[in-house]
Amino acid sequence: MSILTNRPDLTAQIEQIAEAAGYLWQKGWAERNGGNITVNITEYIDDDIRRLPAISAPTAIGATLGNLRGCWFYCKGTQKRMRDLARHPMENGSVIRILDDCAHYEIVADLPVLPTSELPSHLAVHNYLIGKGSDYKASLHTHPIELVAMSHNPEFLRKDVLTRLLWSMIPETKAFAPRGLGMVPYMLPSSNALAEATIRAIADDYDVVMWEKHGVFAVERDIMSAFDQVDVLNKSANIYMCARSMGFIPDGMTDAQMQEISTVFHLPK
């Protein structure tokens, strides 16, 4: 029996994750096992779930994350495919709980699917978000083609150069990705160094950060909103590249036009 049986609220969350995973595959951002999703589902965990025995040994997170005491997460499984998760979320991901030492987790349901290799970054970010009282529950790592391509140009890695360029391609980008795109220099995937650099970038007031020559990491209230932010930023990257492919450098909206968007939409930047 699945942990989802007779739990419509938790089921709805997992179904939204599966839907987003399907979009990642359709977008071409999720080759093989590329990308990962974690969602803080603590609010949907009832006493019966709390009493369930673990189905794995306690496993070290690699850091002590004091705000995660008592937290529960859905995690994509390492080496699992988004296109499979879209159809079978509880076979390609699992529900974990953080132990009281805040340094280990154990798998509780449905199957002993090992969490994503990027768990250090995901959990460090959730720990940071809880610490600052954020209502963000979802984090998404994916490999969006055009954004990753742009991260191969050193000019675009300077702070907010790409943010301004992407915002200027189409008015909606600034409205719906209002914190822009932070930058994290290339670091080894899955490493604690990458996790720490990701926190620093998100703390610098970004919802989406670029992992140079690898992908993006996004946080939001729910997984669909995280997907949306990456989608609008990548759409702008695509428009830029289409213009360049037609042989010209796009004008972009003017600073005054972008300022007008900020004013009308009451945006933070």
Which residues belong to the active site?
Answer: 118
Question: Which range binds ligand 13P by CB under 6 A, 61-69, 72-80, 130-138, 258-266?
Answer: 72-80
For residue 84, the surrounding DSSP H or E stretch is helix 82-85
Strands 208-211 and 215-220: antiparallel
For residue 48, the surrounding DSSP H or E stretch is helix 47-50
Where are the alpha helices (H) located in 103-222, listed in sequence order? Answer: 119-131, 145-150, 161-167, 171-176, 192-203
For residues 122-159, b (16+ Cβ closer than 10 Å) or e, as one string?
bbbbbbbbbeeeeebbbbbbbbbebbbebbeeeebbee
Nearest to 77 by CA among 41, 107, 42: 107
- Out of 139, 215, 231, 233, name the contact with Zn ion by CB under 5 A: 215
Complex with ligand 13P: residue 33 or 94, whichever CB lies closer: 33
Question: Which range binds ligand 13P by CB under 6 A, 111-119, 152-160, 175-183, 216-224?
Answer: 111-119
171: contact with ligand 13P by CB under 6 A: no
* Interface positions, 1-60, toward ligand 13P (CB under 6 A): 33-36
151: contact with ligand 13P by CB under 6 A: no
Complex with Zn ion: residue 33 or 168, whichever CB lies closer: 33
76: contact with ligand 13P by CB under 6 A: yes
Return residues touching ligand 13P (CB under 6 A). 33-36, 76, 78-79, 116-118, 141, 189
Return residues touching Zn ion (CB under 5 A). 215
